[in-house]
Amino acid sequence: MGLSLGKVVKADSHIHYLCQIYGRHEVKADSVPQPHHYALGNFVQIGLGGENGLIIGLIYDTMLLNPDFGNLGPRLSPEHELKIFAPDYLNERAVLVRIAAVGHVAPSGEIFQGVPRLAASSDAEVREMSPAQIREFHRGSDGGLHLAYLPVLLRQTDPLIYDMVQMMLGQLAGLLSEAQRAELDVISDELLWRTQIGPLGGTQ
């Protein structure tokens, strides 16, 4: 089972979630998520409860929450005293990541790619996915590459989506078979044309 990254704190829509990453005061020292665990383009799974399976998602943005921003006045207590007298103040600092849902895994193991029917609840656990889980999520019934969720991502208006998809495809390439990588190369070339050549008036 992958590392627990954090919990859902908000949903902007049926497929867009905001996850607060666990800090050093919330989990054991050897379980604190590091930046590479929640990097742009990483696959994650969101728990729906034992009877409902999992939502599969992709991290597509990062935000930092810092209560000190804009506070130019004198501090009544230094930080080392805040740890004792006001630990909640330190806990207000947080890393938040946006997650786009791209599929669902049923309790039976059946995989569905695209917009999931079920939604996650507040405080739902978010975990990283193992390489084996990522490969299984992308394996088609014929053993080929399955990327049915890609159109859902590319319809989003967020300016980071295309960059995130390119990073995701690069990560995915290292996990696939040679035949599946050949399929992925075609998709990557098409996406590159759409984002870099097409807007300049190029032709395929």
Q: What is the pLDDT of residues 147-197, one digit of tens each?
A: 999 998 988 888 888 888 988 998 899 998 888 888 899 888 888 777 765
**To which residue do tokens 């996650």 refer?**
120
CA distances from 158 to 7, 50, 89, 119, 153 (A): 22, 32, 32, 21, 10
Contacts of 1 (CB under 8 A, 6+ apart): 127, 130
- Amino acid present at 154: L
What does the pLDDT read at residue 73?
A: 45
CA 145/CA 179 separation, integer angstroms: 9
pTM of this prediction?
A: 0.83
- Name the average pLDDT for the chain: 85
Q: What is the pLDDT of residues 39-82, one digit of tens each?
A: 999 999 999 987 899 999 999 999 988 766 545 445 555 555 54
What does the pLDDT read at residue 71?
A: 52
Domain boundaries, the chain: 4-200
